Structure 1
């Protein structure tokens, strides 16, 4: 039997916590901070540990007499509950330099303490928020994102230019470029036939602007040729010289005209774009004919519609000229006039047919003049006999003499047969002077 005066049996409980320095309660009585030992504990006890920032932990412990037992309690830290929304949504949330995801976002594992949060969204200004987590009380954070962009309206003259923004093709002008981020941007306008235009703009958040560009047309060129060449060329009724010719023009529609004597006028309407080089060939159709004229005698002056076209030349025959050609006479009637000193002029109308040759022989009538020999020619025949002829000198050709030895009778004397030539005019004048002196 146990002794009546023996002390009661007691137990001991050693309590350690992680983390330490938690408040220790036994059946609601504060036992100080852990680690700690509780003595004289027979029976059943409720052990409670508390620490700021950690969840309260409870354990039920039963002791037998004189029993000693340790207990280790792992305390769970308190974590905060945060719900983050942004307008617009889809923003990236950075918490103490750690990417937590995109809004809307729920975070349930934040330890108590202070945090630095940044909310990022393309084309919006970043939002910085200081956050303190105290306990499990849910916290809702609404973030209104401020735009970091502006709308830019782009237009050009003329319209329809290709719009390139920072190297990316956007479309045709006029057009709106929405949500262009703040800062410097390069805008290019390009249109076929026009010089490109580049603009550098500064975009400020929430400040829309308009960018305009007036495009300058590139010069255009016509290379104009004709068949046949040397036609007179005019563009929009302005003379540009003779074909072939190169003409610089503004982009658009132009009227090109080619004119050449003896050919029909050709008119062509051509449209050309800026920077373009266009080759234009104009084929002219001949609308003229040719007059093939011989005259008797030669040396006749030829006039067509009052214009002197030259004189006929001596041909194989002394009297008849070689053919005198007047080309590119327009179709229809023309006034022909033939003149030569000592002959009656001829005036007549000739009709020209396109692409045909009109042969014509005209004999001029000599104006009658008194037969007055002015040259005496003595020749020796092959038999050695001499003959003297008097006549009017008509022409000296290759040292041969052509005389009219009787009215209307022409004879040519060869140099090889001529032995003497005398001018009768000087003798006759001397005789006349002597006669006048005797009469005085």
Structure 2
């Protein structure tokens, strides 16, 4: 028989609200009394319950498998009862309630759990706790079951112990639900709850698509905030958009701006769209090719194309179409697009006529103000179309720029049956013809070469003219006259021979010898060394040193003791360089050559034939190599070679090195010695300061490198005429 134990506990104390005005000491005494009584009751209940369980339990047969299950359940119940006792000791009343309820589920007849649960429930029914809720941001509504809702920061008092579902709501933010457990005499704090902005979606579209848009937030009064929060092109989807009212501004090229309002709700998808009205305009013109300029209302003109022209998808509105063709007066039309699918037609024709432009002489250019007529490139004759009106035209001649421009005023009728108008420009001009004897002379006008004789200028502006006729080797001639409009001026000039050489040009002197102009020296240099034939032509006899044929490189005939007789000019002997000449004889030759050539008029005023200076010779020798020189190096020679036997140097001069030594004007002075030494040539210091003249270039009978050095100077007394290897080359330079 089971024992029944009854636990008597005093009734729970009178309930007081959390934070009431009752004194702290009274409250502590009451609470301690209740806890002590409850603890004693639960302990006794568990004790006697255990006794009853042990007494009343029938021993299970050890071999029965069901006994193991019963024993396991009993152990779980015992564990839970012990845990519930600890929860009571810790004043975790709600936890204790859950534990004892779980014991009843396992053992519905468990007296200890039933007794303890009644005492715990009785205590919980009278116990209270508190709740404090704080959010970021403030102002959220907090709802607790059984209590009026409050805005954060919110404090809830006298809340029953146990679980409570707390709901937090703030407009524009996602709602929050919290399950809280209220414990006795405790204030649970939910602080720093960061609310998450709630969001919706917005679909933005337009017809046609591709419109640009900007999204603006509106305040509670519907007033647009300053800055836009999103922009893009349609179609577009905007996600995570805070709930509220918005304005969407649409823009598309050629259309007026449009705007639409929309409201976005939490966790909802809203949409906004607009339609751009459109229309079509066809533009044609006569003549075709006119520029089409379009001006939307409250905007500026913009060029859109060339006729024939078609504009589609024009937005609703008023438009000004203006057609411009060349410099003709523009024509305008106004079109209103109402939004209906309608095509508007614009057809414009200018009254006009054809004008033919001619001129004498042909090839004139015609201008209308600053615009060139004739498609910007044509010259008379040509035709062009003009709108009806009066025009002032100017014709100029690009080929004959000295002709006076002509102005003309024309009037174009523009009627359908009007005839082609002709505008003729007659320039005033005459002609000039110049002939000369000999022909081929250059003709100059105002120091500018205009042609060669026979010369003819078919178109010349009326007025006075003076021409210069010039030809190399002849004296220039000047002719003058007056050219009348429609008249012709003719000149015949007879030119006189002028042998004077021209500066910067090579020339042939009276002896037939070529003189080469060298600009750096500002004079001429003989192309070759003076030949025996030239010497005889100037001096009329051989020098005293030319008594031995060997000295001239010509051997006497066998069996005779006589030297060769003077050969007529042009023979092979005449082409040999003159040698065996003293410095005095060479200088005398230059003086006599100057006198003779002046008599012929072949020397410019102030010039004379001379022996070159050492410095002049150093320049005109140029870069001539020994390979281009007649020397005894590697070859045994018995005399000089005819001049110009080998190629010339870069100036066109022959035999500057080799063949015969060439006299210079300079004495062998310290200056000359130092000049040779500085160039690395061998020198003879004992010659310096003596009466010796310089010779340059080497000769046919020299083979030593020192003698053939381009910088080497030989020094010989000016009276020495026994040098059968010494000759000369002349220069034509300004007189000293």
Please state which band the TM-score falls in when normalised by the shorter chain. 0.3 to 0.5
Query: Which is helix-richer, 1 or 2?
Result: 2
Q: TM-score, normalised by structure 2?
A: 0.27
| Structure with greater strand percent | 1
TM-score, normalised with respect to structure 1 = 0.43
